[in-house]
Structure 1
Amino acid sequence: MIYTVTLNPALDYVIQVDHFRSGVINRTKTEHIFYGGKGINVSCILNELGCSSTALGFTAGFTGQELHRGLTELGIRTDFITCQEGMTRINVKMKSDEETEINGKGPQVTETEFQSLIEKAKQLSEGDWLILSGNIPSSMRSDAYHQILENTPAGVHIVVDAEKDLLLRVLNYHPFLIKPNAEELGQMFDKQLSSDAEIVHYAKELQHMGARNVLVSMAGDGSILVDEKQNVHKMGVGKGTVVNSVGAGDSMVAGFIAGYLKTHDYAYAQKMGTACGSATAFHSGLATYDQIQEVWRMLP
């Protein structure tokens, strides 16, 4: 079983407003609600690819109820912990002459509620997958990922997609996959990376620190994968116009895992990750199965 963890999921309210002006009434031209959060995105793309997963995390209030309802309607299993204080956040993403975002705070997670998540981690079995995605909200302890992994049984495949410090802190748990982008990789070593050779070098440094496979996304330049056998794979992106990059990295993670589970071949997994990430970038919202297949056919 695959489990995704989103510590602070959201309802993303995406609106378009022609020529937004502050201080006056503005009316939306279009509006959509998406179920947001990096781990939620991973679960959604896995679902499109026919891979079952269970979404873990914290919800609260009527917005949390809607998140659960919506994901269940999509066919995604959830096992959220319901918090007593606050509510699942609403993130407003406005597209106008400029793009503006207002992100909610999310629920207040108590230590007792956090320990409930720890108990769920303890129940995982050898061969399960645990995907930790995104940052830790300010209302939670900064070592939350460390605490979760400390209580995860041996033999669980760990995937982490998080920023610099969070990623570095979990390398001693030997995650199966980490996915920094090229800029984040350079920041980890206080370097400005300007060549594929440098990216490969520092990806291997992360392997020496504990990571098994390192997938480095490079936006329009594609991605470089250094697998656990020290093989280096480079792949470009699909052809298309970038509409919205939100969720593209999460889609790549989901595609990589789905591809690996299907074939246990790293090159195939990278190609599937690329197809998913590109397809999401080329469309509004997360990619559908048909959109993913369209990009797949374009890739070498």
Structure 2
Amino acid sequence: MSQLLTDILEDVRKEYLQRMDANNFSQPFLTAEKLCHEKLYLATDLLADIVNEDPTLLATRASDLIADSRERDNPAVGAIISSNIVMAALESLLGLAVANGWLDVDDDGHILVEDAELDPSRNYPVTADYSRSDAATKNLSKRGPSLLTTIFQAAENEFLELLETEVHEAYQLALQVSGNYAIFAPEDIAPLIVENPLLLGLRPDDMVDEELFEGDPPAGIIISGHLTHILLDQLLELAESKGALGKDGAGHIILPEGDGDNPIVH
């Protein structure tokens, strides 16, 4: 686990004990639930550093964990990761409540919570704005190519070499090269996130195969899908600039018949 996240969760644990003491040890579940949602929708740049320390967080999925109705249908990657951190922290605090005798468990080991504390429709807003990042502004203004630019430049160079001998297959070549340079592994995506934390603001946007991921893609795959589409678009623009593809009257690149829709990530 990320050391940054470990320290944050320890602070949350201490505050939980303080709040329970102040509440005369009442409402242990509701106190934990509120605290986790208040504290653990982490700011963009902080979350990027945590993901860089623990890329496995990119395997998390939204499932039914997001308690903000505005985010639930098309959540930002940052909200997906944070909601999983919230749930893990909540489970830990409930275990602490059991250990202190504030909550009981049944014969099967399930934690028993008073009905008055439970409300499945309770709404907790995502308090972080994953469309803002000071680190991204700072990093992207540095001299020299970014990590992502370096990857895309290598893809463009390979595409141009292939295009010289297979100009009539421009679209298929673009698909092939963008697929070859697709970034799927969490440990490969994490450095891109810490360089540009705004990647945490990306959303599924129907770019990922719903059947493959049952409508609930991992956070990292959402980022990968967007990057693959961006690269594909750049390669198609490059092909058009070389005369391998044309544009219609509206300025849209003309694709081979039957290929009008952008592919989705499988």
Decide: shared fold, TM above 0.5. no
Select the structure that is richer in strand. Answer: 1
What's the TM-score once normalised by structure 2's chain length? Answer: 0.22
User: Comparing both chains, which one has the higher relative contact order based on Cα–Cα distances under 8 Å and sequence gaps of 6 or more?
Assistant: 2
Q: Which has the higher Rg, Structure 1 or Structure 2?
A: 2
